Amino acid sequence: MDTLVLLGSFFALMIIGVPVAYSLGLAALAGALWIDLPLDAVMIQLAAGVNKFSLLAIPFFVLAGAIMAEGGMARRLVAFAGVLVGFVRGGLSLVNIMASTFFGAISGSSVADTASIGSVLIPEMEKKGYPRAFATAVTCSGSVQAILIPPSHNAVLYSLAAGGSVSIAALFMAGVLPGLLMGLTLAALCLIIAKKENYPKGEVIPLRQALKICGEALWGLMTMVIILGGILSGVFTANESASIAVIWAFFVTMFIYRDYKWRDLPKLVHRTVKTVTIVMILIGFAACFGYLMTLMQIPQTVTAFFTGISSNPYVILGLINVMLLVLGTLMDMSPLILILTPILLPVVKILGVDPVHFGMIMMVNLGIGLITPPVGTVLFVGAAVAKLKIGAVTKAMAPFFVALFIVLMMVTYVPWLSLWLPRTLGL
């Protein structure tokens, strides 16, 4: 009955339209009152949930990504990708995927990726003869890479939800190969579709112009080197790399590119603070909710349920994949990570699944949810940028869902993809 009160009140609040963060908080209060837990204990968990040093990485990465997104970085990355792959048949779709790879390694956000890359490339692809729905589908599916490629905000949340037992640096490195695999799989699909539909070839960019484009893009790409190089070399931590990335992004945007106006900076910072505030409220209430789940022994119940079905890790991971794919279509990614990680991590640990590997499984699953109706955040952003109906974009997404499902199966059942790089680097 305790579990029914906690989870029932949460879902009831969600159904009537209460935001996820507040649904978590109010459900935690309802559960606490039901089991006669002092509300002071809930408030202590709320404060403890956001009083984590590792959380400082999130606002800095969000701010760095926002500065680069609005400061002309997306346009330069698109041009740089065009130099590399834009001359083949269907080249603009490859440019889209590659630009998302680069931008995802700077912003760590699929929504920012879709908005920035989509505003540049969707009109350009339509102008060159690509269907607008196809261009939008490429943009949305390509942006899922930002969930995996470091610096991923969601990797920080997963580490937090795992109780800090999983290294953020290890999660960052674990996402590199799955992220690149996703990009290559989507690129191969785009080439197949381009050949079948006879999409146009791009033009080879003259050497002098290509060198100029590469030189301009190099300043922004250095952000990746700063973030990853600093962490791997041990020069600074993930938090410190995020703050240094902000300083570098500010320097490049305001003094090198100079596309952004000084008077617009306060508005950008204000938007970033609003975003970070929402995330922190969510984290605090999720900590309360997780505390109640622990008291009610929900993780142990779920573990017993799954292990009672089968002792085969492949079967259990398959069932978890189905559950995550379904839930990912109904809720946003961040709350699902915070809610489900404490429940599912004990299950996979019993089966011998590495927590870093499971983190990548969760990322891919919930990343697919971001582009799946009815609550696909990235899908809605892409449709808004393209000025298309959700149904039209979803229909065009069909082959991309197949490609992403193949990537999910490989990430799930080939642990080497996630674990080789972190283990090689001793993380």
DSSP characters over 14-76: HHTT--HHHHHHHHHHHHHHHTT--HHHHHHHHHHHH--GGGGHHHHHHHHHHHHHHTTHHHH
pLDDT of residue 59: 83
The whole-number pLDDT of residue 3 equals 77
Q: Collapse the DSSP code of 104 into the 3-class scheme (helix H, G, I; strand E, B; otherwise coil) and give the result.
A: helix
User: How many angstroms separate the CA atoms of 32 and 38, rounded?
Assistant: 7
Question: What is the structure's pLDDT at 156?
Answer: 86
197-216 pLDDT, tens digit each: 888 777 778 888 888 888 88
pLDDT for residue 175: 92
Please report where in the chains the tokens 């009152």 appear, as a residue: 33
pLDDT digits (tens, 9 = 90+) for 253-303: 888 888 778 888 888 888 888 878 888 888 888 888 888 888 888 777 887
Q: Is residue 360 within 8 Å of 148, Cβ to Cβ?
A: yes
Q: Please state the pTM of the whole predicted model.
A: 0.86
pLDDT attached to residue 258: 80
Q: Is 296 exposed, middle or buried (0-12, 13-18, 19+ CB in 10 A)?
A: buried
202 phi/psi in degrees, rounded to 5: -90, 180
Tell me what pLDDT residue 309 has: 83
Residues of the chain with pLDDT under 70: 86
Three-state secondary structure string covering 155-166: HHHHHHHCCCCC
CA distance to 118, 235, 358, per residue, from 133 (Å) = 12, 45, 33
